[in-house]
Amino acid sequence: MDFGLSEEHLLIEQSLRGFLAENVPIERVRELREADCPNDRSIWSALAELGFAGVLVPEGQSGSGLSLLDAALAAQALGHGATPSPFLASGIMAPTALAAAGGSAADAWLEGIGSGDLVMGVAVTELFSVREDAGVQQRDGALHGSAMMAIDACNADLLLVAIDSETFAVVKTDAAGPEITRLATVDATRCTSEVVFGGVQPEAVFEDAGEAIRRMLEAGRIALAADVLGACEAMIEQSVAYAKERKQFGRLIGSFQAVKHMCSEMIAELEPARSLLWYSAHSFDAMPDETPLLACHVLAHLSEIGREIASVSTQVHGGIGWTDEQNLHFWFKRIANARHLLGGPEHLRDQAAKLQGFAPAA
């Protein structure tokens, strides 16, 4: 038994971190804030060349066929860099659903996703939170209705849309496809859209796909938790570095107990969460019976401590932390947006209670 990361794991994490620090520094993220969509295809192509587009795609289908733990470490590095990319939808969720659902259409798309040539967004919010009466229905083969907060949709080639907990469809995003409008959120580093389906013909509809949808949500939640963890890490690192150089009252602020305790409280929350994340991601491939509960808990927990760490680390910087110039807000807002992207903490804990028979099943 060995509870920890292997050399290969560490290599993935460190090499991606190094690549992002050099090629997508925060100045580049700031530039992308002005773009129509932050999911710049040149960043994604570079990540695809490094093998991250196909991290979960089987080896025979142009992917690297790695584990969800490997993928989660990549998500963590992307969160650490506040890097815009369609990794959550196209790297994690869509390939998980397609691989689980199977079939020749799914295989062909997996091939394209693995090479990075095909980018796929996901519209799944209505599975756990219906706002503004959103929802997608299928009538006479065509899709009607709308989906809110679709992930990584506006610069994508294909969109996976959940119709209900047992059915999902895949549609093209070309001229004959749905109307996709990017919704500007606080988080300039992630793409979320409203999608309106006015009788769109799907490329394929997967029925009896409850298991595929469940696995897609589990993988997405674990990867999103990893993204939040990476963002928290980055914020703590910046706070500790600042506390070691900033002087007030003739002393380094890091020598004041009040500042010290803010920093220790943040790291005391983060380190055990990292252990839970490793175990949850490992369970996805090795002990899938345990994953439904763990995926709910790990994302709800990271959402809670993430909000606290985002707030405290900004406070360590004092007023300058609140300015646009200091950049900290890119992470603060990425964490804030992630909190509700795949189910808010109350919903996830309710799911966790249901899974254990503590609450009546819906």
User: What does the binding site for other proteins look like in residue numbers (CB under 8 A)?
Assistant: 1-6, 9, 69, 240, 243-244, 251-252, 254-257, 259-261, 263-265, 267-269, 271-276, 278-279, 282, 286-287, 294, 297-298, 300-301, 304, 346, 349-350, 352-353, 356, 358-359
CA dist 95 → 159, 190, 213, 336 (Å): 12, 19, 11, 26
Nearest to 53 by CA among 79, 76, 25, 74: 74
Residue closer to other proteins, measured from CB, 9 or 28: 9
CA of residue 102 relative to chain centroid, distance: 23
Helix residue ranges, H only, 176-209 = none
Which CB sits closer to other proteins, 1 or 176? 1
Is 140 or 271 the residue whose CB approaches other proteins more closely?
271
Under a CB-based contact definition with an 8 Å cutoff, are residues 143 and 171 in contact?
yes
Tell me which residue of 255, 299, 262, 261 sits closest to 277, measured CA to CA: 299
| 147 or 277: CB nearest other proteins | 277
Q: What is the closest distance, in whole angstroms, from the C-beta atom of residue 272 to other proteins in the complex?
A: 4
CB of 264 to other proteins, least distance (A): 4
Find the shortest distance in angstroms from Cβ 268 to other proteins: 4
- Exposed e or buried b for every residue in 172-184, given b needs 16+ CB within 10 A? bbeeebbebebee
CB of 266 to other proteins, least distance (A): 9
Smallest gap from residue 360 Cβ to other proteins (A)? 8
d(CA 13, CA 15): 6
Pick between residue 37 and residue 228 the one whose CB is nearest to other proteins. 228
